[in-house]
Every structure is written in structure tokens, then in C-alpha cells.
Amino acid sequence: MSKLSRINKTIRKIATDLKLEKSGTGYNKYGKGKKIRLIFSKSGIKNIEDLYTTHYIDKNGLMN
């Protein structure tokens, strides 16, 4: 398992422990021309891309 995969796994565990909500984010190429979705992994597999583009949100405001 790569360092980044291990970091992502740790973040997911902490987010689950803190009961944070997942929030997916799409990243697109900016500039002229067609808007292309950016890819963060070598494979481009959707499940892996979803993990890299997930943010965690505290909807209850408990972290403040």
C-alpha cells in the first residue's frame, strides 16, 4: 500500500469516528476549450478517483 493510500485510509477512519459526512467534489480542467475532468490516479478507476475527490464535512458544527 502506498503512502498516499495509507493517508487516505486514515482520513476515512478519522472522518467515520468523528461522524463527518462525505461530500464528493469534481475537479475540471480550466481554460479555453472543453472542460475535462481531472484524474488523480494512474489507473483512473472511478472508485479510486472518488476516494481522492471526497471531502468530509461537519454538518452538526461539533468541531468548532
Q: What is the count of structural domains for the chain?
A: 1
For residue 34, being part of any structural domain is answered with yes
Q: Is the pLDDT of residue 48 over 70?
A: yes
> Residue 56 burial by CB count (10 A; 0-12/13-18/19+): exposed, middle or buried?
middle
For residue 62, being part of any structural domain is answered with no
Angle formed at CA 24 by CA 48 and CA 52, multiple of 5 degrees? 30
For residue 64, being part of any structural domain is answered with no
Question: For the residues 7-15, what does the mean pLDDT come to?
Answer: 94
Which residue range forms the structural domain that includes residue 52?
Answer: 3-57
> pLDDT category, 56, cuts 50, 70, 90?
very high
For residue 63, being part of any structural domain is answered with no
pLDDT attached to residue 17 = 93
pLDDT attached to residue 7 = 92
CA-to-CA distance for 57 and 2, rounded, in angstroms? 25
pLDDT attached to residue 62 = 64
> pLDDT category, 26, cuts 50, 70, 90?
confident
- Identity of the amino acid at 40: F
pLDDT attached to residue 41 = 85
CA proximity to 21, closest of 46, 50, 54, 51: 54
